[in-house]
A and B are shown apart, each in its own frame.
Chain A
């Protein structure tokens, strides 16, 4: 059975998600801040965490953006194969939703031409990832991504011989070198396997996981915990002022790769870990 979804509905849903994600930090992040305050040894670090909790409360109450960098509009869409979109093209509907959301929500527009640096003026084009899945629903995940943390993210094609230890070293060094730039405490998404671009998408999808949820594979869950412990021993702390809470969580996703390759991507997400989703 074919189910129809109008492009108007998509526009409205995306518009609302843009605003919701930028004003209302997720409960999982708020709970992670509370746990971090308990665990943080540095008084300066605890003060930063207090400010972040207070900031999230003000943003929610006053309907204001959590952070002035409202990000590039990253959108993951799962389209059921029994969905028929009416009234126009899907990508254009998403971009229109972004346009309206960033305007109506008084969000900062940060999209520009890579060389001339001229602002596109409406925060489009969105970065859209579409996947066709079974069913007759459409799931839209909106995850605005700020420049500070995205700039610290990297892909590396490791030599297979370095194995999992090589992956851990790469991730820990990346976090160390990033220091205060990605607004710690961060969330670290790691994608291992696939190809060059696939690893990056895995890493980006990984940061959408709810904080505190481990990979269902016990082996991978253990590696996530090991990397998190290692990162939090670096001493960077909240905002890089020193402390033992540098990251709130580490999420690892893996896929098979080429016999000659070991692609690894680290996507660093700042504490403004914004993502909201809707199902149509």
Chain B
């Protein structure tokens, strides 16, 4: 556990297959943002067989709802939000080529299975480290659903965005393995 890897998006299946739980990854390139409301809209489009407003192939989605940006800053504090609320929507996006998700907290078995089958990973970002994470975001631009305000889909240009692999493509789960390793009961 715990080696440091630099990756630049978009990611390929080979990129993510090399990752193991506990690996520290510094992401570069761009990330998409989205939380509950944006996920709901994307899923509805998929169900209707319509085209998505952004190409998600090879992309990484960050579950985040930042504080308002101060004048002159690209984004306000921007730590991860709890991921399980995205569980109903994630498998479909993974099937369509999404390679990574960033959030905090457990994912459902259905999502973990989809990551294994279609080769994607779930990264944890440090919850509450909103000020630190914001420093790694160089630019933010709304690309869809501007009406959703803080929940609009943005493209973030990031530099060494710090995450930890929580679920890899082999079905492993850092939350479970971590407890097994350190529990003394």
Contacts and interface: CB of A to CB of B under 8 A. Distances in A.
A69 B69 CA distance: 14
A100 B79 CA distance: 23
Nearest to B180: A235
A252 interface: no
Interface residues of A, number: 45
Contacts of A67: 77, 79, 127-130
Contact of A235 (B24, B64, B184): B184
A156 interface: no
A148 B127 CA distance: 9
A191 interface: no
Contact of A51 (B22, B78, B126, B175): B126
Interface residues of B, number: 46
Contacts of A70: 67
A107 B130 CA distance: 12
B13 to A, nearest CB: 25
Contacts of B182: 41-42, 235, 237, 242-244
Nearest to A183: B127
Interface stretch (A58-66, A75-83, A163-171, A200-208): A58-66
A31 interface: no
B178 A44 contact: yes
Given A68-B64, A242-B177, 19 more contacts: A41-B182, A44-B22, A55-B131, A65-B76, A65-B130, A65-B131, A67-B127, A106-B67, A106-B68, A106-B69, A108-B76, A146-B128, A179-B105, A179-B106, A180-B106, A235-B179, A235-B184, A235-B185, A240-B124
Interface of B: 1-2, 22, 24, 64-70, 76-79, 81-82, 104-106, 124, 126-135, 150, 162, 164, 166, 174-175, 177-185
Interface of A: 41-44, 47-48, 51-52, 54-56, 58-59, 62, 64-70, 106-108, 146-148, 179-181, 183, 233-237, 239-244, 270-272
